[in-house]
Amino acid sequence: MKGEEFMKKVIDGERDFSAIVMNDEDLTKDVEMYVAFNGTLQRQESIGSREVRDELMYHNTHHTPLILNYASLRGVSAPGLRMDRVQAFETQFHGSNLQNAVMNYANLSSAEFGSVDLQCAHIDFSCLNNVKMNYVDLRGARFIGSMIRKIEMRDSNCEEANFLNTIIDGDCMVSSNFRYAKFPGSYLNNLFMSRSDVTGADFGKSILGLKVGEGNRFASNLSEAMNLDQAVMVAQDLGLNPERMREWGRAWGEFMAEDPVIKEVTHGPKNESHGKDYYLIPKPLHGIGGYLRR
């Protein structure tokens, strides 16, 4: 499908574009059509009356979401694209330009974003399960309140990205740049961030689930991160015993405010032995109680 045909159909009210193939299309070539399609005020000074602007906003896909499940959108240029609540399950976005895109409340599960430009994109309160984001530019992007599970991320740039109150569970985010990224209030569970740079990243009031097996480091320079003394650290290696755990905790003392306390938690039906987790709790947070529920 050509970009012009796609935009015209959206403007005319069509929303279901499941399994379409629209590769290497520049949606911004026709600026007037792109503004109408996008429902934004990119050229506010030339749009005219409020009635015209309201008419453009009527066509905004925020009201009736686009359905792009199983679509191929490789190499599409659509900076500033607004796709709130878009359904894009297993959609291919390889090599696309989606700078400043808005995809809040979206379902992007199993989508592939290889080598995509997502600088300053807003992907808040969205579902990103099993997403692939290798070689992606995510500088300044936002994932506030989103659910990210089993993401595959390698060699991506997340500098100054915002993961406030995000759940990131069971993910591989290796060899990536998280310098000055924001994670306050997030639940980061079972992460593997080997060779990733977290200089200046803010982990205040977050829960860090760390995989700490042999040769498996959370990040190469975690001591350069910020507000780790406000975080709860969870060692998730069932082979660890309390003594090894204490040794490991002391080794992390360089960035802990005080020596951590070890809290042993047995999990399984009726607390039968199905493995144990050992929580490292900085002393300022001893009273958090139920905050550590699994």
pLDDT score at 229: 73
Mean pLDDT of the chain: 77
Question: Comparing 103 with 171, which gets the higher pLDDT?
Answer: 103
pLDDT digits (tens, 9 = 90+) for 177-225: 999 999 999 988 877 787 889 899 999 888 877 665 433 455 667 778 8
Ranges 43-47, 148-152, 214-218: which has the least confidence:
43-47
Residue 81 and residue 99 in contact, taking contact as beta carbons nearer than 8 Å: no
pLDDT score at 213: 47
Q: Which helix (H) or strand (E) holds 9?
A: helix 3-11
Question: Cβ neighbours of residue 105 under 8 Å, at least 6 residues apart?
Answer: 84, 85, 124, 125, 126
pLDDT score at 225: 84
78: its two tokens:
């659509």
CA distance 180 to 200: 4
CA distance 291 to 41: 43
CA distance 186 to 205: 8
Asked if residue 15 has pLDDT above 60, the reply is yes
pLDDT score at 113: 97
Query: Could you tell me the CA-to-CA distances from 159 to 116, 142, 200 in Å, in that order?
Result: 15, 11, 10
pLDDT score at 228: 78
Ranges 8-17, 68-77, 171-180, 266-275: which has the least confidence:
266-275
pLDDT score at 100: 96
With helix as H, strand as E and coil as C, how does 227-275 read? CHHHCEEEECCCCCCHHHHHHHHHHHHHCCCCCCEEEEEECCHHHCCCC
Express as a percent the part of the chain with pLDDT over 90. Answer: 46
pLDDT score at 53: 42
Average of per-residue pLDDT across 108-128 = 97
pLDDT digits (tens, 9 = 90+) for 31-41: 999 988 887 43
Residue 27 and residue 4 in contact, taking contact as beta carbons nearer than 8 Å: no
The CA angle 86-127-149, to the nearest 5 degrees, is 150
For the chain, what are the domain ranges? 123-292
Helix (H, G, I), strand (E, B) or coil at 31: helix
Residue 147 and residue 168 in contact, taking contact as beta carbons nearer than 8 Å: no
pLDDT score at 131: 96
pLDDT score at 127: 95
Under the banding of pLDDT at 50, 70 and 90, the label for residue 247 is: low
pLDDT score at 35: 86
Sole residue written with tokens 């995989």: 211
Under the banding of pLDDT at 50, 70 and 90, the label for residue 235 is: low
pLDDT digits (tens, 9 = 90+) for 85-113: 899 999 999 999 999 999 999 999 999 99
With helix as H, strand as E and coil as C, how does 44-64 read? HHHHCCHHHHHHHHHCCCCCC
Asked if residue 59 has pLDDT above 50, the reply is no
pLDDT score at 246: 56
Ranges 9-13, 20-24, 139-143, 260-264: which has the least confidence:
260-264
Residue among 213, 254, 263 at smallest CA distance from 233: 263
**What is the fold of 123-292?**
Pectate Lyase C-like (2.160.20)
pLDDT digits (tens, 9 = 90+) for 258-275: 454 555 555 444 444 444
Average of per-residue pLDDT across 166-175 = 84
Asked if residue 167 has pLDDT above 60, the reply is yes
Beta pairing, strands 261-266 & 276-281: antiparallel
Region label for 92, one of left (φ > 0), alpha (ψ between -120 and 50) or beta (otherwise): beta
